[in-house]
Amino acid sequence: MHLIFDTDEAFSFETLRTSAYIPYGGADIGEVISTADRITPGDTESWHREWRALADRIAAIADGCAAGGHQVSARGAYLRASNYYRTAEFFLRDDPTNDPRVSDASGRAVDAFRSAMGRQDEWTQVGIPYEGVELSAYYLNVTGDEPGPTLLAHGGFDSTCEEMYFVVGEAARRYGWNCLIFEGGGQGAALRKDHLAMRHDWEAFVTPAVDVALKLPGVDPDRIALMGMSLGGYLGPRAVAFEPRIAACIAYDGIFNINGIVNLAGGSAAGSPGQDADPAQQLAALQGLIDRRTELPTQQRWVLSNALWVFGADTAEELAAEVVKYDLAGVADKITCPTLVCEGENDQFAPGQASKLYDALQCPKTFIRFTAAEGAGEHCQEGALNLFHQRMFDWLDDTLR
């Protein structure tokens, strides 16, 4: 599915991702199309420039509405600005730690989102203690003091907890679920502000999140579900294997391991040696890709650069050693809670991974394949969130009834 950029798959998918949040106030289709039309395919500088200009323009509208006392208008504009700032920052990965545009745009995305949240009563900002820092989180309470079902939700390889509001937070409110959206290492402010790398043992972040959730009003301790998005389709299942307080898990979309997904440890990208090559050759090929990544196609350049940042690696050897840890072999059979595994028919980021996870599970399990004919075949059903939410929340209601 191509939206605007039929010659640049990475730009096309991220444009689709940005526009996917229209039903939940994260974008307007006219703003998306007119902005994308001014971007040169493959030119990450023009991507940043145009989305940043849009974000600044919508943020200024939000500020004007707020100053005039138009709180509903301000909230809506702040939400869109937050998503657009996130989009503007997305491809700035050549040197994200030292690029001031990364911290500036991501900080503005957070500020705009919190300005929006401050203009309603249902969402509150909370912190999750983790090794001397506080992980960002937001809590939606729809059941008041009455115990109700609660969804914990986090992202994956490139997520922020502010984005998770559009992914599932607002949908949770419509379906009558409390919701705690949060982030761990390698994500959002945890990466950009606290410099926390991602961990394969994701329960290190989920267990503190559950500890906090159990102290929040409206949370039924017997009806806590966990949803992990994208790489979270590995992270979430990994966590529930070691966190017995989770009553249901959604792998959105399911991932069994990441070694083959990102073509890193195997070094099979761009004509370099494949999985059966000598390990030294694989590492040399991977290091070669890293060294010349700015010359690679947009998607491959971004994956390599983002992986180095997210996993806290500097060399091919460090990156390969980290990637190989993300594997549910010997772990999936320890999951006991009911688990929903989702798959997009045309998912090019994790092909075949959902089936591998589903086959390895020995707990009560459900598999849903979203098809291209439904308009839902992309990774994480981008562009078809209404259908995804209908099926996921119906499954949750039936499972934790």
How far apart are alpha carbons 190 and 312 in whole angstroms?
12
Q: Is 392 helix (H, G, I), strand (E, B) or coil?
A: helix
Burial class (CB in 10 A: 0-12, 13-18, 19+), 134: middle
Amino acid in position 111 = D
**Residue 341: beta bridge partners?**
251, 367
Domain ranges of the chain: 1-120, 123-258+326-401, 269-323
380 near 370, Cβ under 8 Å?
A: no
Asked about 46 being catalytic, the answer comes back as no
Classify domain 123-258+326-401 at the CATH topology level.
Rossmann fold (3.40.50)
Average pLDDT over residues 102-106: 98
Q: Across the chain, what does the average pLDDT equal?
A: 93
The DSSP bridge pattern shows strands 123-130 and 248-252 to be unpaired
Q: What is the dihedral of CA 249, 250, 251, 256, to 10 degrees?
A: 30
Residues 6+ apart with CB under 8 A from 292: none
- Report pLDDT for 260: 65
Q: Which two tokens stand for residue 43?
A: 């030119």
Question: Any idea what the Cα angle at residue 114 is, between residues 111 and 116, rounded to 5°?
Answer: 115
- 8-state DSSP, 378: S
Per residue in 288-311, pLDDT tens? Answer: 999 999 999 999 999 999 999 999
- Report pLDDT for 266: 39
At residue 268, does pLDDT exceed 50?
Answer: no
At residue 279, does pLDDT exceed 90?
Answer: no
Looking at the chain, how many residues does it have?
A: 401
229 near 251, Cβ under 8 Å?
A: no
- Report pLDDT for 277: 63
Per residue in 349-373, pLDDT tens? Answer: 889 999 999 999 999 999 999 999 9
- Report pLDDT for 5: 76
Amino acid in position 301 = R
Average pLDDT over residues 228-237: 98
Band (pLDDT 50/70/90 cuts) for residue 182 is very high
Q: Which two tokens stand for residue 345?
A: 């028919």
- 8-state DSSP, 327: B
At residue 225, does pLDDT exceed 90?
Answer: yes
C-alpha closest to that of 225 among 216, 345, 239: 239
How far apart are alpha carbons 263 and 324 in whole angstroms?
11
C-alpha closest to that of 307 among 96, 44, 84, 41: 96
- Report pLDDT for 159: 92
- Report pLDDT for 3: 63
The one catalytic residue among 106, 115, 230, 305: 230
What percent of the chain stands above pLDDT 90? 88
**Residue 76: beta bridge partners?**
none
- Report pLDDT for 259: 80
Classify domain 1-120 at the CATH topology level.
de novo design (two linked rop proteins) (1.20.1440)
At residue 81, does pLDDT exceed 70?
Answer: yes
Per residue in 34-46, pLDDT tens? Answer: 999 999 999 999 9
- Report pLDDT for 365: 98
How far apart are alpha carbons 57 and 55 in whole angstroms?
5
